[in-house]
Structure 1
Amino acid sequence: MKYNAIIIGGGAAGLSAALYLARAGLAPLIFAGSPPGGQLMLTSEVENFPGRESILGGELIDIMRKQAQKFGGIIIDENVKSIELVGAGRDLPVQHNVTMPIQHTIESASGETYNSKAVIIATGAKALWMGLDSETRLRGKGVSACATCDAFFFKNKIVAVIGGGDSALEEALTLTKFASKVYIVHRRAEFKASKIMQKRVFEHEKIEIIWNSAIEEIIGEKKVEGMRIKAVGVGRDRPVQEIKLNGVFVAIGHRPDTDLFKGQIELDQKGYVLTTTMYALEKLKAEGLKLKDMKFDVGYQTMTSVGGVFGAGDCVDHVYKQASTAAGMGVQAALDAERYLEKI
């Protein structure tokens, strides 16, 4: 089966790209995954997506799916088993000169084969979790991996942040705007975060740090009611401690869902997709140059190292990680793909 464009990913980035390509009359095929929906499906309420004061994450995804389908998008709730990108492995050009139509090949989990002239990768990134049964059970019921998304729901409540890097400390500082008290639980006796972030945390009256400790269990049946922490490393003979609280924010990192594309497109050291813009910035950094020194045209800003293959959302973005920014990147990728298809 042949398509003008195939989108891999059914979250905010993928569905936004689908809407724009569908409205352009290109009838894109969307592999939404199984289960579909991306990170929004793990969010109980969304209050920072433009257009609605409050909406359930699953409801927002459903609206976006129906909107894409209304204009001709074809959605399959299936994962991609394998992909063959024509031109894979070549160096990323500064300008993408399109000279002939290319057909990329995708095999679905059910064994069907699909061909497409353009592919948008919007597979997202997954938050790393601690691996506790109680953490899984209470996810969305007081357990979160995004303070920017969920901090408002913990107004005047007690919460804990798990982690010791910049992201964890930033989460803790965000939570202080709403919560009455914020614990930071860290496995070591010092943070990995930048000095300026540490200074802000150490000086904040709402924050208490619990060093050399890890969560053994999150307490609660239908909602978070507390945490049980154990000592690790120095002082590991300390007794297990129980603390009453209302929320636990896990901030031990994210992992882009890009294993499928290893060896076919350029990824950075952490596995995030390198698009033209990101590649150009990496190049500047490697050569010790500044942004003003960039003298070349970056062409299709969302294109990857393979012609006709574009990246969008959290599999590209390792900074913002918001549904609205992912949606915007999806729109950019769709517009780039549309221009690309017009030229071949």
Structure 2
Amino acid sequence: MAPLRLALVPGEPAGVGPELCVHLAHRPRECALVALADPDTLRAAAAVVGRPLHLLPADADARGPGELAVVPVPNAVPTIFGTPDPRNARAVVDALLRAADGCVRGDYAGLVTGPVHKATVNAGGIAYSGTTELLAAHARCDVVMMLANPSMRVALATTHLPLRAVPDALQPAPLERTLRILHAALRRDFGIEAPRIAVLGLNPHAGEAGHLGREEIEVIAPVVTRLCAEGLALIGPLPADTAFLPARLREFDAVLAMYHDQGLPVLKHAGFEQAVNLTLGLPYPRVAVDHGTALDLAGRNAADPSSMIAAMQTCIAIARRRSTDRHG
């Protein structure tokens, strides 16, 4: 089987992403890594990490220790680690979009991304709510954000919204689309033939039979009932405060949380270092680190590369599975 080529985007150049890419380049791997990034920033990160970095042409089979193939995406101004500059926002977004273009064309089998600093991108004059949303708009498809670690998978019905906006966003049609995408991805990308999905309620105690809110009765339960009638294995709406008990979690292949901070704090507490962020529903695998830019650690060789390594390994596994499915 031909070696995979994965696109690698560091994210915010002033954050820990470039250092994580250097660490990744020194990991044994079954794929060639093609970084879409500013070469000078990568070299500066290698100096911080204290490891050699060999930047190769974009079409090179970069699998050796310290090797990265590079598609140059120059920053507007030099990187100062720990101090993001809005003038570099365009390069950050362009790197992501060029990588996405390459994935759609088939140049890359998947995309691995580092953390992006949302405030800096917006300060650079680019409306940006997250890489998940950016890639969904680029591919013109509905997607689902899911974080995963060795002990659980948690997908989100809503993502980067103010808490007061969540109930209005929780509507039957998008909830149904989310569950269908999640179910399909668990089958295709994780090889789970009949996924069991826990669907959380929105309110405390899953609404307490309507006494603490009616979203469970009016929105969530009807969608669950309808999809269960089609053969999906959905359980819920469940109270969020007990759904994550270890004994209960063993009954599920994934949990669908209704909003960002309902499910992700539990997952990160249970295994932050090994967690990854997946965008389900794209025409290619996209896996990211589960943490932010860590500006306070940037330039100090203090960042833990575990999540970036797990992101690469997860992306390889999904890309391999998709390739096997395509070729029988």
Specify the TM-score bucket, using the shorter chain as the normaliser: 0.3 to 0.5
- Rg larger for: 1
What TM-score do you get using the length of structure 1 for normalisation? 0.37
